[in-house]
Amino acid sequence: MSRAWLYLLVAGLALGAGALVSSWLQPDPNTTAAGTGPAALLGRPAPPFTLGDTEGRRVSLDEFSGQVLLINFWATWCTPCRKEMPMLQAVHEEFESQGVSVLGVAVDDVQRARDFADQLGIAYTILVGAGDVMAMGVAYGNEAGLLPYSVLIDRQGMVRWTYLGELKEGELRRQLQALL
């Protein structure tokens, strides 16, 4: 084996080991210790909000009283957000008759969010804003402002699940079924 190949092999092993150690040292944002971040909200009342939707109507948490509510923070420029939205629409269609609402909260321009939702045939409510949406995200445990970010609220208005990153359909369905 030539020296170049040996160096490449050693470098590859070092990079792999570094990535493995790094993953052990960095906490998973979806399992943050109680008292900080998303985990601090679990079992607590959902923070109130009032934001504008894509048609200029003001929408508040109170409008979803007695329903299971999935809040999904997203943006048109966020690739994983764009990927999960058709699945969220399918979940909306399947579970709406069982008292489940999906609420998209876009950190975006109103027209862009409206056009994108129309293009995908999104029928659930989309709220839009900038600083006010970011403040809502922080109130709901997304202190870093990363997207996508989702929060599941039960019929009593208590936060039951939070997830940072692109939702996995099977896991989302399990979480919803547990609240029906």
- 127-147 pLDDT, tens digit each: 999 999 999 999 999 999 999
Same domain membership, residue 16 and residue 1: yes
Residues 48 and 21 in one domain: no
Residue type (1 letter), 128: V
Same structural domain for residues 26 and 109?
no
Q: What is the pTM of this model?
A: 0.81
Examine the domain organization and report whether 82 and 128 are in the same domain: yes
- Domain with residue 136: its CATH number is 3.40.30.10
| Domain extent for 8 | 1-31
Q: 23 and 42: one domain?
A: no
Same domain, 112 and 154: yes
* Of 167, 160, 104, residue with least CA distance to 137: 104
The count of structural domains within the chain is 2
pLDDT in tens, 8-50: 333 333 333 333 333 333 344 454 433 446 788 999 999 999 9
Tokens of 155: 């019929």
